[in-house]
Structure 1
Amino acid sequence: MDINHNVYSKNYRVLFHNRSALKIGEIERYVITYDLYQGETLPEDLTLDSLWVKVRNIEALSYRAAYLMGPYALYCDVRTGAYHHSQMIYASVDRPQFTSNLQAQQQKIAELSLHRIQKKYTWTIDIVSQVLFSTNTNVTYEITISNSERYLRMNDSSNLIPSMDLLCSRMKVSRITTADIWKLPSQLIPAKKKKHLVLLTHGLHSNVSADMEYIQEQIYKMQTSEDKEQYVVDGFTKNVCETEKGIKYLGRRLAEYIIEELYDNSVCKISFIGHSLGGLVQAFAIVYLGTKYPWFFQNVEPINFITLASPLLGIVTDNPAYIKILLSLGVIGKTGQDLGLQSNDPHELPLLYLLSGEPLASLLSKFRRRTVYANAVNDGVVPLYSASLLFLDYEDTLMSLNEIESKVQENAMIPHNISTLQQTKSSSFDKFWKILNPNNMFQTSEAIPKVSLFDTASSILLPPDPDMTYITKPNSRYSVIVHDKLYSSSDIPQEDSTGDINLIKSNNVLLQAFSVGDEERKRYQKLEELIARRWHKGMTWRKVVVALKPDAHNNIIVRRRFTNAYGWPVIDHLMENHFITEDSVVPNRDTFDIQQILDENDLSWIFNINESSIFDQGPAGMISTVNDMFDTISKRTLANISTAIEENELNPEDDVVRYEEKNTDLYG
């Protein structure tokens, strides 16, 4: 490594320096091992002076404001090699150190403590791209290890030549890329070993390789030597920044990826785990696999169908008026139409209605387990009723939620006023956000606060950090599971029965997103209820309702290891109940004739490719990906938006309302 040794003194030196760049969905992991001493005897000159590591985002300062092209930010954490979230951390120097949002020209300096006499130390450093809106953006960073904190703070490392070479014989640094993390485990499987393929599917304007890496890691940790099959955890990465193109488009690509890239004769089982929109995408992928490749589920046994905070009934009822305006601008494109139960063709039924029937019903019935995880509170994207398939014991859930709230000091579990994000917003970001969020006031109800879509999007860009006590002391963590029950068809109230009417007219605060609204909203209620009934027909569903701190929509999958640490118990629950050596669930060996289902049902909608429209070209990002979209939205001032809402100029009658009037088969 060619370094100018005059830039630092004799006693304080650089031990390692490297430069790299990350695109959307990319992670780089550095595993550092350090031999405190060699041999069997302690050297007389042994010292326990700490090492120090610096991670610096070296993008230009002006890029901090380039949210729509990036953002040009990184997540970074440093943890000991022996770290596990279930273990108590006693020494403060062993605490994980992390930065949720390392912006351009910012740096993170962390201590690598040598406070105990032990032969070898190990640390792991994860550096993760926070890019959301572009597949072309690179975020460049430098990582430097030194034996002097002062040197790292006082000296510019830009004159150092990047290299993986070391200046210390006692230290070893291994760099692990995104491809290594995701592909190496499957490549190490013995050739004759059978495989249990686990597909992870990300949500809207998310990515599987970074945002669902924690889940992947936990699944592999569940592997034991007694298992007959080897887990192979994978996900389709090429849907990134294309999630506005519609559920059919995304699901078809996922299904083709499974057939073309993942399936071989060694694959004997398959499971699906989808977050948010990913739950619907994987559902359509299953439909596509079962109809185009009917042999697939004859050769591969379906095990788990799991969704986490997925809008299985859409997100129509919970949408405020200004969200519909943003949808009309194409913010989430064709996907927005799918989730809004809309269609360009007035003669075509809503996709989510079609998806909830055959052949999905027959295909899902063959899975050993069907589980939905839903956020009770603090999810500004997907309401509880949509994620839980509507039919739920809301009174029991609310009672459990209130019990948890009463146990948490100062109501920290469910605060009546959430100000963390507002306190952390920079002035430039705040101005940008006001353009997109005209209704900036935090909405609350008597018992449960309502987090908006913009609060959720804001917490992705500027995420609130969890309490360090929660991270270091497992016994300080409260239970987050407020409801966990298996629902069968017999638990669903008959249509137009007293139980059904009570559900629609319920004043339970957890159901307000569904039950409260004007006449137009109530017309959607019937459609959502019909979709929910179709999901339940002939099947049992395990419904797990959780109560997480903001941002619950991202915490539920632990999008980032420590930033979203409040979701750890959810993933623990998922692992313990779905990925176990001894499976007590009797597999469903019944067979069904897929050809008979094809003959008895009009399934042309599965393969129909609609003509492209402006909605299919929506910007690839939760807010926007291109400057012209930002200009379009910014020109619509708050006054114009308010006027449009009042005059209803931008909110014409949705096509889906006409479905209920013109298509009697919708109710049959």
Structure 2
Amino acid sequence: MDEIDANKDILYHYRSSVKVGEIERYLIEYILYEDDEIPDDLKLDSLYVRLKNCSPLSFRAGYLAGPFILYGDVRSNNYHHSQHIVSSADYPQFEANLQAQQVKVMELSLHNIQSKYVWILDVVSQILFTTNTNVPFEVTVGMDRKMLEENNEIECLPHLGSTSNNLIVSRLTTDDLWKLPRELAPKKDIKHLVILTHGLHSNVSADLSYLMEEIYKSQANFPNEILIVDGYFDNVCETEKGVRYLGTRLADYIIDNLYDADVKKISFVGHSLGGLVQTFAIGNLAARYPWFFDKVKPVNFITIASPMLGIVTDNPAYINLLLSFGVVGRTGKDLNLDVDLPDEKPLLYSLSGEFIRSILRKFERRTIYANAVNDGIVPLYTSGLLYLDYDAILKKLREKEENKSLSGPNNITVSDNTAFFNKNFISPLTKMLSLWAPQKFPESDPKIPKVSFFQSAASILLPPLPDINFIVNPKHRNDIIIHDKIYTEEDIKDVEKDPDSSFFNNKNIFLQALSTVTSEKTKYQELEKTIAIRWHKGLSWRKVIVALKPDAHNNIIVRRRFSNAYGWPVIDHLISEHFSGENFEMDSQKDVSITTTREDLNWIKRPDEDGLFKEGPTGMISTVGEIVESFAKKRFSNLVDATASNEESLREIKDEVTQNLDLDMVDIPNETI
């Protein structure tokens, strides 16, 4: 410690921690010289920033309470992905998964003579499942790389802050990053709310922060209004409770926390499950606050890789069984198009009704972004509302494949932690909670890029990483948009008139999942088709189909700035087409009245009901026994223990899962629940 102080090798040291959905940003400003004249003894020796995950080593296996992992990146303050970075000294650096007790040291190069340097260090929590744990970490800036990498005495330092007059470090929290842009913007009479909504086991605050910042960069396109980008943070770790529960809470947040007399416009952007949640929220707003869409102009309704038709016919039978039994809570039953009562309608069917369609007609633009390939979570047919020119999409994909623009393994890298992570977490996890199966591409056509659910689950925390050329040189990025077309109700009618256009007997590779289902799923085929037709009744949709490298489901929203960088072009397109300041309208009907019946009001305003399977295991639990134990420890334990029939039912589920999933790595306890 004395040696460290004497050598003055440490310029800054700080300890902090992040919970689920939290980010901390460190603005590192180094003054190289202050006077106008350059000093004769000026040195351009690099600085180094050290990021350490201070979680105990034993926490590497504590995934159910975490995982206790960090994402970190450092870049210059003037970095933007649209620029070609020539000098390697200016390359951004990042660590996608910093595990417990691991250290990442990144260089802060002083290779140019300039009076001041500024870098940005982002530290992001990778916790997924709980709100009551955190990942402690340390940020240290020093002058000796070897010392930072090897000297354990750094851990003994107090919260020093900066020890150099030349170094100024400013720390921003998650709230700062989300609230400062609106607080620092010039006051204007018109507020335009932009509501972002996250998906299952995700969050707004961290996972959609890149999208938030890019939208704010378009503020210059709106001289007469102020953009306020926000979302409901408190649905984090609540996403298994169902679309109704999540959407109602989002609507309440908009009214209670965001709306005031200056709010004149509103846009919605939802990723994955968030597309359904925002749809319900819109209906909830109109039903409970009929004045809202008269006072607030709807502008953009955007879904990104959202399962608008549910996910049923693309799933194996055992996955649908788990969804039906509520293994992922009420949300799983919603996506499986299940109902609790014989005369009840599936929630996703009700969402597509005239009531919500009449609200969506008032929006200036309705846009769907969907992954054609490499999305093991949400298949194209459901994210694209079924009706698409699949032949044109397939033709474009084959052209890209011939140009090798989708050949992932040749130009991606995977974290060194992959083997350990797959063995101890991903393998047992995906065997138990395979929520969505992969798109089923025939083995006879290996050229089409494929990705399984297992790869997608692993890629949430272990994404295949873009190579450095993709990150620093825009010329190394191929066009990812393979289809961009506005579909109207008339287009759907034309398809239905064609006797050879049946989706359920189509040989197109994208429709194999629909044409090879078992007889028991036939009713769900027709239900999905009916929902798709209803969504097009009186509505036009712009459908933008993209071809991204793995992991497309998280890349499409750039969950993390660099590890999910393949999605940059998607966000660029979203911003340029929806936040350019231009008043392009598809076919919005501003004066259309919202069609409301008593049935609509009763359905949309019905209180959310508690139930045994409303909340699935919050966290990905790797054995059925742990799932049962998780339920038992929660508020439903008395009900389960008191009812022998329930116990027997759960054991039958256990047997079914064991039979179908081959849980060779999972020990299922036999003790009484």
CA contact (8 A) 1:26 1:128 kept: yes
Q: Is 1:426 equivalent to 2:428 in the alignment?
A: no
Residues in 1 aligned to 2:414 and 2:64: alpha-carbon distance in whole angstroms: 19
CA contact (8 A) 1:194 1:268 kept: yes
1:603 is matched with which residue? 601
Secondary structure of 1:232's counterpart equals strand
Residues in 1 aligned to 2:90 and 2:660: alpha-carbon distance in whole angstroms: 55
2:668 is matched with which residue? none
Deviation at 1:378, TM superposition (A): 0.7
CA contact (8 A) 2:187 2:226 kept: no
Residues in 2 aligned to 1:185 and 1:625: alpha-carbon distance in whole angstroms: 44
Deviation at 1:435, TM superposition (A): 2.9
| 1:523–1:302 distance in 2 versus 1, CA, 3 Å | same
2:581 is matched with which residue? 581
Q: Superposed, which structure 2 residues align to 1:229-268 within 5 Å?
A: 229-268=225-264
Deviation at 1:109, TM superposition (A): 0.1
Deviation at 1:521, TM superposition (A): 2.2
Q: Superposed, which structure 2 residues align to 1:64-463 within 5 Å?
A: 64-156=60-152, 157-164=154-161, 166-224=162-220, 227-328=223-324, 330-408=326-404, 412-413=407-408, 424-427=417-420, 429-438=422-431, 445=442, 446=445, 447-463=447-463
Deviates more, 1:494-503 or 1:324-333: 494-503
Deviation at 1:592, TM superposition (A): 3.5
CA contact (8 A) 2:411 2:467 kept: no
Q: Deviations over 1:269-296 (max 9, x none)?
A: 0000000000000000000001110111
| 1:636–1:218 distance in 2 versus 1, CA, 3 Å | farther
Deviation at 1:12, TM superposition (A): 4.8
Q: Deviations over 1:78-115 (max 9, x none)?
A: 10111100111111111110000000000110000001
The amino acid across from 2:295 in the alignment is N
Secondary structure of 2:596's counterpart equals helix
Deviation at 1:614, TM superposition (A): 1.6
Residues in 1 aligned to 2:508 and 2:182: alpha-carbon distance in whole angstroms: 47
Residue 27 of structure 1, aligned match among 17, 23, 29: 23
Q: Is 1:643 equivalent to 2:636 in the alignment?
A: no
| 1:503–1:272 distance in 2 versus 1, CA, 3 Å | same
Task: Let me know the Cα RMSD of the aligned residues.
Answer: 2.8
1:18 is matched with which residue? 14
CA contact (8 A) 1:384 1:511 kept: no
The amino acid across from 1:615 in the alignment is F
2:44 is matched with which residue? 48
Residues in 1 aligned to 2:463 and 2:563: alpha-carbon distance in whole angstroms: 7
| 1:479–1:225 distance in 2 versus 1, CA, 3 Å | closer
Deviation at 1:632, TM superposition (A): 8.2
| 1:34–1:404 distance in 2 versus 1, CA, 3 Å | same
Q: Deviations over 1:561-589 (max 9, x none)?
A: 00000000000000000001232338845
Secondary structure of 1:16's counterpart equals strand
Deviates more, 1:492-501 or 1:504-513: 492-501
Normalised TM-score (structure 1): 0.90
Residues in 1 aligned to 2:275 and 2:221: alpha-carbon distance in whole angstroms: 31
2:671 is matched with which residue? none
Deviates more, 1:242-251 or 1:146-155: 146-155
1:524 is matched with which residue? 524
Deviation at 1:505, TM superposition (A): 1.4
Residues in 1 aligned to 2:44 and 2:415: alpha-carbon distance in whole angstroms: 42
Give 5+ residue unaligned stretches, structure 1: 647-668
| 1:120–1:587 distance in 2 versus 1, CA, 3 Å | farther
Residues in 1 aligned to 2:628 and 2:125: alpha-carbon distance in whole angstroms: 22
The amino acid across from 2:286 in the alignment is G
Secondary structure of 1:187's counterpart equals helix
Secondary structure of 1:327's counterpart equals helix
The amino acid across from 2:585 in the alignment is V
Amino-acid identity (%): 52
Deviation at 1:426, TM superposition (A): 3.2
| 1:277–1:418 distance in 2 versus 1, CA, 3 Å | farther
Deviation at 1:418, TM superposition (A): 12
1:552 is matched with which residue? 552
How many aligned positions are there?
Answer: 636
Q: Deviations over 1:119-145 (max 9, x none)?
A: 111100000000001000110000000
Deviation at 1:40, TM superposition (A): 0.8
Residues in 2 aligned to 1:630 and 1:66: alpha-carbon distance in whole angstroms: 19
Deviation at 1:402, TM superposition (A): 1.1
| 1:626–1:57 distance in 2 versus 1, CA, 3 Å | farther
Q: Superposed, which structure 2 residues align to 1:504-523 within 5 Å?
A: 504-523=504-523
Residues in 2 aligned to 1:451 and 1:334: alpha-carbon distance in whole angstroms: 27
Residues in 1 aligned to 2:179 and 2:587: alpha-carbon distance in whole angstroms: 29
CA contact (8 A) 1:493 1:500 kept: no
Q: Deviations over 1:165-200 (max 9, x none)?
A: x21111111101000011122223444431110000
Q: Deviations over 1:257-312 (max 9, x none)?
A: 00000000111100000000000000000000011101110000000000000000
| 1:344–1:304 distance in 2 versus 1, CA, 3 Å | same
Residues in 2 aligned to 1:104 and 1:501: alpha-carbon distance in whole angstroms: 54
Residues in 2 aligned to 1:562 and 1:8: alpha-carbon distance in whole angstroms: 33
The amino acid across from 2:606 in the alignment is N
Q: Deviations over 1:328-379 (max 9, x none)?
A: 5533100000000001112101000011012110000000000000000011
CA contact (8 A) 1:380 1:455 kept: yes
CA contact (8 A) 1:619 1:626 kept: no
Deviation at 1:615, TM superposition (A): 1.4
Q: Deviations over 1:408-448 (max 9, x none)?
A: 26x615x6x99977985334641443334449999753142
